[in-house]
């Protein structure tokens, strides 16, 4: 095969047989690695986790039980990967039966399609209930669908498919200092152990926790570190 060179040659390297053999071996390994796609057959046995989702009675009278089954690709190798394969949601309540069946079938199809499935978390979280959401452990959840999105996020983090972005040193130091000042304690560690936020705290638009306070003319979240001052 002839390749026409249109630009200036600024450097070159002669590839020896060892390097060429190593590259061919790497290509052979990569071609043998199994990736998730819609033609992957369902194994007889899948690992799964079930999460109990309890909501206020005005949202759902009965709890939801969310089961996510995972498939393990390339087991026993350095390319071993655990990915969600299917999802089921069960409840005694038949009020939400139709859309729950539709939602789980669509999400299961997305899981089996392969590629990046983490986008489902934000898509579900962006669904708002026109009747209003509810508070769950200090966090505002805009809808039952959004709460399902939180469960999926928890599962993806657990299997290593989704990474949690932690606070940098500057943000953590700022939060610890503000907690220390508010709690009147002597160390940032004791402030972090209080586990509560001031009653006057506002709802943070980033993490949905009621933990944003006005300090030094800047609205700062004591939970995720989001600040209007940058």
Per-position pLDDT tens, the chain of length 230 = 677 777 787 777 776 777 766 666 666 555 678 888 888 999 999 999 999 998 888 788 889 999 999 999 998 888 899 999 999 999 988 888 899 999 999 999 999 999 999 999 999 999 998 888 888 887 889 999 999 999 999 999 999 998 876 666 666 676 677 666 666 543 433 333 344 677 778 888 778 788 888 777 788 888 887 777 76
DSSP character string of the chain: ------S---------HHHHHHHHHHHHHHHHS----TTPPPPS--EEEEEEE---TTT-SS-EEEEEEEEEESTTSTT-EEEEEEEEEE-S--TTHHHHHHHHHHHHHHHHH-S--THHHHHHHT---TT--EEETTEEE--HHHHHHHHHHHHHHHTTSS---PPPHHHHHHHHHHHHHHHT-SSHHHHHTT----TTPEEPTTT-BEEEEEETTEEEETTT--BTT-
- The whole-number pLDDT of residue 106 equals 96
pTM, whole model, 2 decimals? 0.66
- The whole-number pLDDT of residue 140 equals 87
């Amino acid at each position: 095969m002839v390749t026409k060179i249109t630009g200036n040659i600024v450097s070159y390297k002669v590839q020896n047989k060892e390097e060429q053999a190593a590259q061919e071996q790497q290509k052979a390994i990569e071609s043998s690695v199994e990736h998730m796609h819609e033609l992957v057959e369902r194994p007889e046995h899948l690992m799964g986790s079930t999460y109990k989702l309890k909501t206020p009675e005005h949202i759902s009278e009965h709890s939801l039980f969310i089961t996510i089954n995972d498939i393990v690709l390339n087991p026993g190798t350095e390319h071993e990967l655990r990915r969600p394969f299917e999802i089921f949601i069960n409840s005694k309540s038949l009020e939400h039966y139709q859309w729950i069946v539709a939602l789980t079938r669509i999400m299961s199809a997305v899981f089996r399609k392969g590629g990046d499935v983490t986008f489902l978390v934000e898509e579900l979280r962006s669904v708002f209930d026109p009747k209003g959401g509810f508070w769950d452990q200090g966090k505002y959840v805009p809808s039952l669908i959004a709460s399902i999105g939180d469960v999926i996020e928890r599962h993806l983090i657990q299997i290593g498919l989704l990474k949690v972005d932690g606070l940098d040193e500057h943000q953590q130091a700022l939060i610890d200092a503000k907690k220390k000042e508010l709690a009147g304690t002597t160390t940032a560690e004791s402030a972090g152990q209080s586990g509560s936020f001031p009653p006057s705290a506002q709802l943070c638009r980033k993490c949905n926790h009621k933990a944003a306070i006005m300090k030094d003319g800047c609205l700062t979240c004591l939970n995720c570190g989001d600040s209007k001052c940058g």
